[in-house]
Amino acid sequence: MNRTIPAPQYTSIAHDVPTVPATDLATSGTRQLVVQCPRCGELHRHLGLGLRRSPCGQHYVISTPHTAPTLTAA
């Protein structure tokens, strides 16, 4: 018997998931996180930290730098 055992896959996400720093965005009522997408370069908004999927299909992990300035949306 010569079976090939596939590598364990704990998610369906392809290999590398980049970590991107988020900037706080204070909107009226809600607080959102803005990240610059490593895939398309656009700014994407998210509601929380952690593993997210961008509108363009990129997976990344959102982290918050301690010294992030707070932006205010008009």
- One residue of 25, 34, 37, 68 binding Zn ion per CB under 5 A: 37
Q: Does 43 bind Zn ion (CB under 5 A)?
A: no
- One residue of 13, 56, 61, 73 binding Zn ion per CB under 5 A: 56
CA distance 65 to 49: 11
Backbone conformation region of residue 57, classed left if phi is above 0, alpha if psi is from -120 to 50, else beta = left
Considering the complex, state which of residue 26 and residue 56 has its C-beta at the smaller distance from Zn ion. 56
Interface with Zn ion (CB under 5 A), residue total 5
The H or E element that residue 19 is part of is: strand 19-26
